[in-house]
């Protein structure tokens, strides 16, 4: 597939075992990159396997990611490093991904990646040992005010969605994870048709596909139904949440609960539209940002974003402020003003071009390309068609998004106050 508007060429094949595989061609590049990902993340806690619903401990997808580098012969990360690769992995709400980059021995490293991810090796002793390591990681995260304000915002927005639950779980939840549980989850989700392979660089696509066919199982397991909670409705679970921590000034996030995202190309459009609306309303080039900054209500920490999760979507903004409630009121008032007065045509064009340029710049990052292709594969859209999506979005689309979703009835304010100022 050739994309003339972004000058990218991608070879795609769905292998006989059901694995979707992409090779993004970068002629002349010495760096090579591969990502092998599964549609299994922190929110996949309840699923149906062998005809019965399974409830698994929070944090198990992240725990499994940690343990997948273990092999019968040692540690796959160390072996790949000997071949000049830089391997790593991450777990998000919706996926777990294993990846590496290198300049030589690509085929050998790719086969190693495919092998250790598809063939689990756990012992009760190694699983128990990992609990202490991950518990320390959880403790460090829980002590981070930026993480706390974000976690509390999600818990205020959602009543039942597993978006409320941290990807890493809790010290208590991971204590219930056993080798047997890990094997069961691996069997359910680490199966070719539920995974995706992306390779980027000056590569022979046939060699990449051949490696996958040689290493991976010849057949895939069944599709696994998942449960992300019941209907949430439009309103948040609570309008405000707060706590106190060791911070020098209040840290806050205001979240706006949006409808669950669609699948297919409409999901890509929804993602681009939400990001564009947040930047136009609250971005660092917006009139609102300039006004709040000049009034001393925000500082350089202020930012905004739009996120899509399985069965959930939300816009949010925040940073440090001595008056978080005043900032939230200013956001709501600016949303009403924009929908009342409309967008200045020059401002609209400038912001749209800026966001489009940021998407183009993302093509320079092998990580960014791979993640976008994996997400598109799992949610049934082509992320490299983003220029056509930008063409389709009008100022009225953005104003409709702001009017419908950036409003008080959908808002939840999360604040971390300094201990000495708590009253």
Question: Is 219 one of the catalytic residues?
Answer: no
Count Cβ atoms below 10 Å from residue 248 Cβ, excluding itself: 10
Sequence-separated (6 or more) residues with CB below 8 Å from residue 183: 120, 122
Q: Give the residue from 282, 356, 265 showing the smallest Cα distance to 317.
A: 282
Considering the candidates 65, 79, 130, 375, report the single residue annotated as catalytic.
Answer: 65
Alpha-carbon distance of 29 to 203, in angstroms, equals 9
Which amino acids are annotated catalytic? 65
């Amino acid at each position: 597939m050739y994309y003339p508007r972004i000058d990218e060429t991608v070879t795609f094949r769905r292998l006989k075992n059901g694995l979707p595989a992409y090779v993004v061609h970068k002629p002349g590049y010495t760096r090579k990159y591969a990502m092998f990902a599964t549609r299994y993340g922190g929110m996949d806690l309840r699923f149906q396997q062998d005809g019965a619903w399974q409830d698994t401990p929070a944090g198990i997808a992240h725990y499994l990611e940690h343990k997948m580098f273990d092999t019968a012969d040692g540690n796959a990360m160390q072996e790949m490093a000997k071949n000049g690769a830089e391997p790593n992995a991450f777990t998000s709400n919706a996926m777990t991904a294993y990846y590496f980059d290198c300049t030589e021995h690509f085929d050998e490293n790719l086969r190693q990646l495919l092998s250790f991810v598809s063939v689990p090796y756990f012992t009760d002793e190694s699983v128990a040992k990992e609990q202490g390591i991950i518990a320390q990681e959880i403790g460090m995260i829980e002590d981070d005010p930026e993480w706390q304000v974000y976690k509390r915002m999600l818990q205020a927005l959602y009543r039942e969605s597993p978006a409320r639950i941290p990807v890493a779980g809790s010290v208590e939840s991971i204590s219930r994870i056993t080798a047997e549980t890990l094997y069961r989850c691996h069997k359910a989700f680490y199966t070719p048709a539920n995974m995706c392979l992306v390779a980027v660089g000056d590569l022979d696509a046939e060699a990449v596909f051949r490696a996958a066919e040689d290493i991976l199982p010849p057949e895939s397991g069944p599709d696994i139904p998942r449960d992300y909670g019941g209907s949430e409705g439009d309103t948040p679970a609570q309008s405000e949440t707060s706590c106190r921590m060791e911070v020098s000034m209040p840290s806050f996030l205001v979240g706006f609960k949006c409808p669950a995202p669609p699948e297919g190309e409409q999901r890509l459009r929804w993602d681009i539209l939400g990001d564009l609306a947040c930047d136009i309303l609250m971005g660092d080039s917006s009139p609102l940002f300039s006004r709040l900054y000049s009034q001393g209500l925000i500082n350089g920490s202020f930012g905004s974003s739009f996120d899509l999760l399985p069965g959930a979507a939300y816009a949010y903004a925040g940073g440090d402020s001595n008056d978080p409630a005043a900032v939230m009121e200013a956001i709501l008032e600016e949303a009403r003003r924009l929908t009342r007065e409309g967008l200045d045509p020059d401002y609209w064009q400038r912001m749209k071009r800026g966001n489009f340029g940021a998407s183009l710049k993302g093509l320079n990052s092998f990580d960014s390309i791979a993640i976008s292709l994996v997400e598109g594969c799992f949610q049934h859209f082509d992320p490299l068609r983003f220029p056509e999506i930008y063409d389709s979005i009008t100022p009225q689309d953005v104003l409709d998004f702001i009017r419908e979703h950036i409003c008080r009835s959908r808002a939840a304010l999360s604040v971390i106050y300094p201990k000495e100022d708590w009253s």
